[in-house]
Amino acid sequence: MTRTDARQLGKGLAFVSPWLVGFLLFMLLPIVLSFYYSLCDYTLLQPPLFVGLENYRDLVHDPIFWQSLGNTLYFAALTIPSALFLSLGLAMLLNVKMPGQAIFRTIIFLPSLMPIVASAMVWMWIFNGKIGLLNNLLSKIGVSGPDWLGSSTWTMPALALMSLWGVGYTVVIYLAGLQDVPRELYEAAQIDGAGLWSRLWNVTLPILSPVIFFNLVMSIIGVLQVFDIPYIMTPNGGQGRSTEFIAMYLNDNAFRFLKMGYASAIAWIMLLIILVLTGLAFWSSKRWVHYQGK
């Protein structure tokens, strides 16, 4: 290591030290322990009993684990692309100068602020099969809507729809990202005769790509940990466990069945899956993410 290298290392470590210290202080031990627990029978109330890979072996044969994993991936497939398009589209709309812009932005952002019990109650009313607003609207166009939260087929789309309502979070990140798009680039593109789509494709999206990438990674991480909405809306995992999410199953194992060792094993499998997915995202990012700074 040269002297410059060492100096760089020192400087780098100094800057990341807030995180590093926090990591060593609050995260390292819990993470290491959770891995150790995943090799134990640990009930929380008794000392852990080492059982080797038994928890992982059990997971392979656990139908509920596979079902909840499938449900989670299905939910991910439903929400990640749709949330991406919706939030990006909304951010662009909200970036256009128009009367009432502040109000519009506030409205879109509002749902993400809602206490979860309150929004769950409202959505249960919306999804109610008989007097619910959604079926009321559907009946106006001649469609007889299903029992959204009671049917194993429709609960998942219903939950996905509800999660899209909370897209304001991502919209705000995109809005901030859009401020980075230099106006000159637009003007140059316009002088070149580029239309709306071409400007979007050639100017906005490339510049926004680091932020899109961030949101993609975060939504992969987030969706695999989805917990509170299904937990409140469809307790016990819905009809036939159709909305048993992996994070719910983990939580049940940890705090209801008192199988913390098993729950930790689930966590590490989840980590592995997320790692693979984000790894894929990072790998693909070389092709589509453009960092202006470089």
Partner 1 sequence: MPSQRPHPERWFAFVGTTLICIAFLFPLFWMLSTSLKRNDQTMEDPPRYIPNHIDWHHTAGGLVLPIPENYWAVITHDKMDFPLYTRNTVMIAVLSIIGTVLSSSLAAYGFSKIKFKGRNAMFALMLGTMMIPFPVLMVSLFSIFRWMGDHTPIQMLGTLRPLWLPAWFGSAFNIFLLRQFYITIPDELSEAARIDGCSELGIWWRVILPLSKPALMVVALFTFMAAWNNFFGALIYVQHRDQYTLSLGLQVFQSAHGGTEWNLLMAASLLILSPVLVLFFVTQRTFIEGIATTGMKG
Partner 2 sequence: MARPATGDRLVLSVKHAKQIIVGLVTVAAVALLLTPARHPEVIPTGRTLVRYWGYWTGVEADAMQEIIDSFNDTIGKDKGIWVQYISISQSDQKTLTATAAGVPPDIAGVMGDQLAQFAAMNAIEPLEKMAAEHGITREYYKPVYWDACSFEGHLYAMVATPFVVGLYWNKQIFQDRAEQLRAAGLDPDRPPATLAELDRYAQALEVWKDGHLEAGGFFEQQPGWWREHLYDWFGGRIFDEKTGRLTLDSPNVIQAYDWMQSYSKRIGPAEVSRFASGLPDVNTFDTPLQPFVTGALAMMKQGPWLANSIEHLRPAMNRWKMSKQEESKLPREQRKQNYMWGAAPFPSAVPGEKNAGFAGVDILVIPSTARHKAEAFEFIAFVNRQDNMEKLCSLHCKNSPLAKMSGSYLANHRNPYIEVFEELAASPHVHPVPPVPIWPQIQSELRNIAGIIVQDVGPQSSPAHLLAEAQVRYQAELDRFNARRAERRARGLLQ
Q: Which does 12 bind (CB under 5 to 8 A by kind): partner 1, partner 2, none?
A: partner 1
**CB closer to partner 1, 158 vs 247:** 247
Computed from CA positions of residues 233, 236, 237, 242, in that sequence, does the dihedral angle turn out positive or negative? negative
> Which pair of tokens denotes residue 23?
């990591």
Buried b / exposed e along 207-246 (16+ C-beta atoms within 10 A): bbbbbbbebbbebbebbbebeebbbebbeebbbebbbbbb
Rounded Cα gap, residues 287 and 283, in angstroms: 8
Residues that bind partner 2 (CB under 8 A): 41, 43-47, 49, 98-100, 102-103, 121, 124, 128-131, 146-152, 232, 234-241, 252, 255-258, 260
**Cβ contact 38:264 at 8 Å:** yes
Q: Which does 27 bind (CB under 5 to 8 A by kind): partner 1, partner 2, none?
A: partner 1
Q: Which does 146 bind (CB under 5 to 8 A by kind): partner 1, partner 2, none?
A: partner 2
Computed from CA positions of residues 44, 46, 47, 49, in that sequence, does the dihedral angle turn out positive or negative? negative
- The residues that bridge with 50 in the sheet, in sequence order, are 40
**CB closer to partner 2, 123 vs 213:** 123
Residues 154-183 binding partner 1 (CB under 8 A) are: 165, 169, 172-173, 175-177, 179-180, 182-183
Q: Which does 234 bind (CB under 5 to 8 A by kind): partner 2, partner 1, none?
A: partner 2
Q: Give the range of 33-41, 49-57, 69-77, 234-242 binding partner 1 by CB under 8 A.
A: 33-41
| Count of beta carbons in the 10 Å neighbourhood of residue 184 | 8
Q: Which does 166 bind (CB under 5 to 8 A by kind): partner 2, partner 1, none?
A: none
Q: Which of 157, 214, 232, 258 binds partner 1 (CB under 8 A)?
A: 214
**Cβ contact 166:111 at 8 Å:** yes
Question: Nearest Cα to 183, choosing from 203, 206, 197?
Answer: 203
Binding mask 193-212 for partner 1 (x = CB under 8 A): ---x----------x--xx-
Q: What angle do CA 136, 141, 144 make, to 5 degrees?
A: 55
**CB closer to partner 1, 64 vs 153:** 64
Residues 247-286 binding partner 1 (CB under 8 A) are: 247, 250-251, 254-255, 260, 263-264, 267-268, 270-271, 274-275, 278
Using rule CB under 8 A, residue 23 touches partner 1 = yes
**CB closer to partner 2, 17 vs 152:** 152
Q: Give the range of 54-62, 73-81, 101-109, 138-146 binding partner 1 by CB under 8 A.
A: 101-109
**CB closer to partner 2, 152 vs 198:** 152
Closest distance between partner 1 and the C-beta of residue 290, in Å?
9
Closest distance between partner 1 and the C-beta of residue 12, in Å?
3
Using rule CB under 8 A, residue 5 touches partner 1 = yes
**Cβ contact 86:72 at 8 Å:** no
Rounded Cα gap, residues 163 and 225, in angstroms: 13
Question: Nearest Cα to 106, choosing from 164, 172, 176, 160?
Answer: 172
Q: What is the rounded end-to-end Cα distance, in angstroms, of the chain?
A: 25
Q: Which of 101, 152, 236, 284 binds partner 1 (CB under 8 A)?
A: 101
